[in-house]
Structure 1
Amino acid sequence: MVGQTRIVDKLRELARNLWWVWQPNVIALFRELDPTLWREVDHNPVEFLKRLPPEQLERRSAEMALDSRIDYAFRRQAEYLKDTKSWGAINASILRARPVAYFSMEFGLHESLPIYSGGLGVLAGDHLKSSSDLGIPLIGIGILYAQGYFRQSLDKDGWQQESYLNSDLDLLPIEAVTGPDGQPLKISVESASGVLHARIWRVEVGRTTLLLLDSNLPENSESDRALTARLYGGDARVRIRQELLLGVGGVRALKALGITPAVLHLNEGHSAFATLELIRETMEYTGLPFGEVMHDVANMTVFTTHTPVAAGHDRFPAGLVEENLGKVREGLHLSFDDFMGLGRVNTHDHNELFCMTVLALKLSRHANGVSSLHGVVSRRMWKPLFPGVAEENIPIGHITNGVHVETWVAPQMTLLLDRHMGVGWSVRQRYPETWEGIDTVDDAELWETQQVLKARLINFVRSRLVAQARRRGEPESAQRQAMEALDLNALTIGFARRFATYKRAGLVLQDAERLGEMIEAAGRPIQFVFAGKAHPEDRFGKELIQGIARITRQGKFAGKIVFVEDYDMNVARSLVQGVDVWLNNPRRPQEASGTSGQKAVLNGALNFSVLDGWWAEGYDGTNGFAIGSGWTHAEPSIQDRRDYESLIETLANQVVPLYYDRDTTGLPRGWIARQKNAFRTMAWRFNADRMVMDYAQRCYLAAAGGLSSSMPHN
């Protein structure tokens, strides 16, 4: 039994650091111990190990020689954590003593830690993972949501239903942070409506650490205890107190742990209150006035905006700001009007709401959008904040988003890339020459690999559809039909994202008769897989989902257009790894970046998208397909009609013919050539390693190197 204890301890050690999330061999190790249980626990190794009977572990260890595999994984993790020759160790060594503090309202690291809703959180999670791989000293700061976002199901009418489940903290890959006395370490934030208390949890993400704040404490009021229950839930008061906790509480958490950051990175405006707390803390430490300290803090602050739509930026009325930030304002020695002016474009307009993005822009010297086009849109949007400055000179640049390759590329595709690009290619993923190896891949090998991935997707979708039908109490016939959904030989198009109106999820479905003819075309069928959630308060988004759900039940579309419920990272991973085409048709220029299509590229899918966000700088005519020309009409309804026509015509005249044009061996040579062009031209550019290196070289080093000697040290 001594040997078994050692195995269990090593497995638990592996489970507690989310490094395993991007290690296919470690994931396989957990899965092979008990595939059924692994699925039941939503791929959560902490819960998995608590539920796995010791006798089964002992039996499986003997059957599969697990001792050596576990030892190997354990050694690899230890070597990774101790690596001193990383890119960051050489190129960003200044951050060793004082790291980057990366604030985000949500982090999408894995489905087993449900503290994310969508793209913003997944982007933040990928940022942490690549910072770990590169060895860039970085601490994430977020909130531990006990109920996460929400679990989605559709009723018999196709209407979205939301349910919230409390996470068992003992089953999450988190660890309570304790003080010298061994008791949970806590912080507090004062406000006119009472003191807000929170404890701190730690998540290890490879070589990076994520700190999560939790307000569910008995010393808080009932309303404050519920603050960290749900992500993006509640009214404006709930939102501002969540952001108070994230920003002010986050800085205090760093101080409580003795961490003095050299850089504040605000991932969206939600965390902008962090700058105010750091100014207050520094004023108290140095005795210097607000104006002087503000410049120092601004110099060390990096702000990334993700929202190209004015309505998407958080704004709060003056009374709510004073109620929650009044104590901070007093510590800054600012009058009410001067403080409110920090969040207003027109500082003297007392009717203007306090905007978190305005605050972030005023208190940062490094601001960026998340694609080239989004940078242009952001400069135009915030021009009134910089009177007298030409639009092209407004200090908002861009760093285009990328995705963490090892998280999103399928294991089967990884093996193919290992064979042709050399083991360790992922370390060189940011260099164009790395991806030239794709040309050595035999067409048949690439095609067969993607067919395997498509088969896995179809099996996944079928199992989900059956479970959905059973939950709704549908008859056996419906369940049998679900088991036969989708066809391995049909062109498979995926669409999965948040169901916001501007993303136009139903654009391709506008003319059911026209689409039906294409779906049923003899010898050239197409099929669609949809997934995504609408915000609980977004009735229009829910109506979009309902419309798709109803179409899936129409005779000629049944099994050929499907909707997978409860979109999360697990569903996203299955879709981007298995579809032939990734469809994205937002109303340009409202997609700031979009990263799902980048994940699809890594698995051989071709993008079919409006020239918005990252696709506007990725598409070259040979590596995917474009909807529209990039020009937009002032009248949205006209633009929608034009984009629909372009979508259908491009699908009918370019996408479908290229996919079904086969040679005598049954291979679509033109399609495969386009797949290879996609790998070659985009994989090296749109990955998170390149993105994080851009942040380090353009922002972090400048911000850290420009620190005043008056800044406090813990």
Structure 2
Amino acid sequence: MSSSLDAFITRKHIAYFTMELAVRPEMHTYAGGLGILAGDTARSCADLGLPVVFVTLLSRAGYFKQVIDADGRQTEQPDWWDPERWCTPLNAMVAVDIERKPVWIRPWLYVHTCPHGHQIPILLLDTDLDQNGADDRTLTHNLYGGDEDYRLRQEIILGIGGIRILRALGFDLHTYHLNEGHAALLTLELLNRSRVAPEELIAGESPFDIAEVRASCVFTTHTPVEAGHDRFSYELFERLLPGFVDLDELKRLAGEDRLNMTRLALKLAGYVNGVARRHAETTEHMFPGYRIHAVTNGIHPGTWTHPAFAQLYTTHLPQWQHEPEILVRALQLPDDEIWRCHQSAKGDLIRQVKESAGIALDSEIPILGFARRMTGYKRPLLLFENLDRLIDVASRHPFQVVLAGKAHPQDADGKEAIRQVHALARQLRGRLNCVFLPDYDMQIAMTLVAGADVWLNTPLPPMEASGTSGMKAALNGVLNLSVLDGWWIEACVEGVTGWSIGQDGDGARQHATALYDQLDHTVLPLYSADPARWRWMMKQAIGNIAYYFNSQRMMRRYAAEAYLR
């Protein structure tokens, strides 16, 4: 065991469990927003010196490498990475019995060091060991891969295996933070350890100290989409973990029909939160009877600020990375400096598009950026709802569009949306430059959110839990044009920090019309006709959004309200 880990063991008392975690672009341990948020959480924990250890899966083959063929069809390939380049294997192993045979788990250690020296340990769980059979060795290879059986095995490794690893290493923990329901089985491990002695039981009482478990668990739920909550058959659970916990007790906690990981976490967490105010309200409607707090997501300032803007902030607003609330003074920044930094970021995006897609964008024409997981409720095709209107707008107010995003391998509709985007781009050629950047990842995101002029977001309300890409854009002075959902309800000051699309209750056609109207009558004319006002709005976006929607503020709230209960 490394001496650096020995130091962490005595100082880290909170464990953060997450299926995915975006540590750095070269480590393919994330799929999308959930993992990006977890990475920003880790970075801010280091910045603030919070006593947290992170636990995730190693995911050697990543989520997947996206390949787009000539017709715009997505195919998937393993996205392998080498753990030995970035992580240290620890001399510790634990076993979890799955189907009555031990599956051995070894952690790798990655240490994140923040600019002023604080460090955070990240443990990545690996089953690719000689002690395991061939099938078990692959259980930590593919992030969100395989069928229901594979997924439940992964969640056993994360939740039960993760907590056993921490104990084996000697961590003395008082709080377990579940980032989504994937790690909810750790609550069953805690239940088993809280078992009350038979002689102390009162007739009819549960043999478990549920209050003790609830006092130690924090649960952050992210998705308001019903399909996003993991459910497993009790037959499968009993086959993989026979006798692990009393089945009747489990059904009282996790649902009578199927093991619902979200309900299990809700029942056994003493503090539960959504990731935006609207999302907390939506979650309370989905799961009535539970108190859902609201801690709106934030993004890590030092990670998502373009180098040119970072230098500008450092020159005029020292300590902005540690105390991003000082960015409220962005209105004092010189207009020409703001524009110079933006042109630097835009130039980087234009070069990225040229290298990746072979298309030359015009630096004088505004760029709309859109990058999300490609799935139905994100509505990536809303911009193209009425091609005649879109072409008409572009003929009078030229603009360019850059899109990116992956569809889950089993999401046929999401894949079809990607194919349609490519077909539409070909159809619009010569009238509107529309580019799709393949294999969207953390590195592409950094370039795209900083280099666009306008950040477009078109979810179907109230399906957006929070969304953080627009926060990253605003940190770089990029203006948001978004449907009022998720975090944008809290941040939008019309015509000041950006613009809204439509109203609550609008359908797709109404939202599309509202989008075209905003582009045609407000956004694009302002860009070309009133550059002074545009730059003023850029500073308003930084001063009114970046100062608040950051992970420093988010983690201070978790520390005060969830960890120190």
Range of TM-score over shorter length: over 0.9
Q: Does residue 1:310 correspond to 2:310, yes or no?
A: no
1:627 corresponds in structure 2 to: 501
Structure 1, unpaired ranges of 5+: 1-16, 18-80, 83-94, 179-184, 387-393, 467-481, 634-638, 663-667, 703-714
Compute the displacement of 1:100 (Å): 0.8
Tell me, in whole angstroms, the C-alpha distance in 1 between the residues paired with 2:253 and 2:63.
31
1:171-209 CA-partner distances (Å, limit 9, x unpaired): 3x110111xxxxxx1110013352211111111012111
**Contact 1:627-1:643 at 8 Å conserved across structures:** yes
TM-score, normalising length: structure 1: 0.75
- Helix, strand or coil at the partner of 1:530: strand
**Contact 2:12-2:53 at 8 Å conserved across structures:** no
Compute the displacement of 1:327 (Å): 4.0
Compute the displacement of 1:558 (Å): 7.6
- Note the 1:502-513 alignment, pairs <5 A: 502-513=377-388
Tell me which amino acid in the other structure corresponds to 1:643. Answer: H
Tell me, in whole angstroms, the C-alpha distance in 2 between the residues paired with 1:280 and 1:438.
52
2:107 corresponds in structure 1 to: 200
Tell me which amino acid in the other structure corresponds to 1:177. Answer: L
Using the TM superposition, name which of 505-514 and 640-649 deviates more. Answer: 505-514
Compute the displacement of 1:244 (Å): 0.3
Tell me, in whole angstroms, the C-alpha distance in 1 between the residues paired with 2:492 and 2:198.
51
Query: Among 261, 277, 293, which residue is 1:397 paired with?
Result: 293
1:464 corresponds in structure 2 to: 356
- Residue correspondences, number: 551
- Residues 284/250 of structure 1: CA separation in 2 closer, same or farther (3 Å cut): farther
Tell me, in whole angstroms, the C-alpha distance in 2 between the residues paired with 1:151 and 1:140.
25
Compute the displacement of 1:291 (Å): 4.8
Compute the displacement of 1:98 (Å): 5.5
Query: Among 678, 695, 698, which residue is 2:561 paired with?
Result: 698
- Note the 1:460-609 alignment, pairs <5 A: 460-466=352-358, 482=359, 485-521=360-396, 524-554=397-427, 556-557=429-430, 560-609=433-482
Tell me, in whole angstroms, the C-alpha distance in 2 between the residues paired with 1:115 and 1:288.
45
2:116 corresponds in structure 1 to: none
2:71 corresponds in structure 1 to: 157
Tell me which amino acid in the other structure corresponds to 2:131. Answer: E
Tell me, in whole angstroms, the C-alpha distance in 2 between the residues paired with 1:490 and 1:454.
11
Compute the displacement of 1:608 (Å): 0.5
Tell me which amino acid in the other structure corresponds to 1:652. Answer: D
Which is richer in helix?
1
2:141 corresponds in structure 1 to: 229
Structure 2, unpaired ranges of 5+: 114-118
Tell me, in whole angstroms, the C-alpha distance in 2 between the residues paired with 1:263 and 1:578.
39
Structure with bigger gyration radius: 1
- Helix, strand or coil at the partner of 2:241: helix
Query: Among 653, 656, 665, which residue is 2:524 paired with?
Result: 656
**Contact 1:302-1:364 at 8 Å conserved across structures:** yes
1:425 corresponds in structure 2 to: 320
- Residues 326/284 of structure 1: CA separation in 2 closer, same or farther (3 Å cut): farther
Tell me which amino acid in the other structure corresponds to 1:425. Answer: W
Tell me which amino acid in the other structure corresponds to 1:656. Answer: L
- Helix, strand or coil at the partner of 2:99: coil
**Contact 1:552-1:558 at 8 Å conserved across structures:** no
Tell me, in whole angstroms, the C-alpha distance in 1 between the residues paired with 2:197 and 2:48.
34
Tell me, in whole angstroms, the C-alpha distance in 1 between the residues paired with 2:197 and 2:76.
47
Tell me which amino acid in the other structure corresponds to 2:165. Answer: A
- Residues 292/322 of structure 1: CA separation in 2 closer, same or farther (3 Å cut): closer
Tell me, in whole angstroms, the C-alpha distance in 2 between the residues paired with 1:327 and 1:256.
23
- Note the 1:116-127 alignment, pairs <5 A: 116-127=30-41
- Helix, strand or coil at the partner of 2:105: strand
Tell me which amino acid in the other structure corresponds to 2:365. Answer: A
Tell me, in whole angstroms, the C-alpha distance in 2 between the residues paired with 1:325 and 1:558.
59
Which is richer in strand?
2
* Aligned sequence identity (%): 39
Q: Does residue 1:339 correspond to 2:213, yes or no?
A: no
1:386-420 CA-partner distances (Å, limit 9, x unpaired): 3xxxxxxx411110000000000011001111222
- Residues 591/314 of structure 1: CA separation in 2 closer, same or farther (3 Å cut): same
1:250 corresponds in structure 2 to: 162
- Residues 463/285 of structure 1: CA separation in 2 closer, same or farther (3 Å cut): farther
Q: Does residue 1:148 correspond to 2:62, yes or no?
A: yes
- Helix, strand or coil at the partner of 1:488: coil
Using the TM superposition, name which of 615-624 and 185-194 deviates more. Answer: 185-194
- Residues 98/146 of structure 1: CA separation in 2 closer, same or farther (3 Å cut): closer
- Residues 514/130 of structure 1: CA separation in 2 closer, same or farther (3 Å cut): same
Tell me, in whole angstroms, the C-alpha distance in 1 between the residues paired with 2:88 and 2:276.
36
